[in-house]
Amino acid sequence: NSKVAADVDGDGYISSIDFGFVRKFILKYIVIFPVEEGAINSNTWGESVTVSQLSSLSDAELCARTIYGECSRDNYENLIAVAWCIINRQTLNVSGNGFYNNSYSQIVCDPAEFVGLTGTGAGEGQGRNPVMSSTKWKRSVEIAKVMVLYKGNRAILGDTITNPIDRRRYFLEKSYYIKYPASYRLNPITIIDNTFFHWKGEGY
């Protein structure tokens, strides 16, 4: 029952997509909220960048790149799940969450946390060079816009992009999770190619 608000088709509307059920919301009612400069105008987003250039990008673009880079396939629920992993780190004031109330850029650019953005190994860092014409990139951009527009407001975020992972703050690629099991990973839930979980001993 996942949904996301997204102007994927560029028609000036945000569509609330609920896997078969589509409602239209006029975009102007969404973008009136205060937001960092450049966060809504995404026309220049997505150019190839190096790790050192990430610090010059907006929170919104960095979120879009992270969502894109951490999902091997174009699937709404998977994209939203990665978004909520970032949101949970930013909004949950619980033990063990050193990212609480940080900026999105601080969260996603932290070394080794989101290798789809910052990684330099084989198959990593896809978010630094997205295919800008792809639907996956366009969807990642629209999700990231919503994250920034409603940053810190879990209630509105939950109404706009349904949370499929509850309060989980960690995930691994599914095949890696299966190959390298660990007792400190609790309550796993797999969404497409990623497995999300709680960390034993930390609050949630």
pLDDT tens digit sequence for 161-194: 999 999 999 999 999 999 998 999 999 999 999 9
pLDDT at 41: 66
Q: How far is CA 157 from CA 23, 108, 200, in A?
A: 17, 18, 26
Both tokens assigned to 163: 């949370």
Q: Which residues pair with 191 in a beta bridge?
A: 194
pLDDT band at 97 (very low <50, low <70, confident <90, very high): very high
Both tokens assigned to 120: 């330099």
pLDDT tops 70 at residue 122: yes
The average pLDDT across 190-199 equals 97
pLDDT at 40: 56
Contact present, 202 and 98 (Cβ < 8 Å): no
Classify 24 as helix, strand or coil.
strand
| C-alpha–C-alpha distance, residues 130 and 108, integer Å | 16
Length of the chain (residues):
204
| C-alpha–C-alpha distance, residues 71 and 80, integer Å | 10
Question: Which tens digits make up the pLDDT trace of 14-58?
Answer: 444 433 333 333 333 333 334 444 445 678 899 999 999 999 999
Could you tell me the pTM of the whole model?
0.82
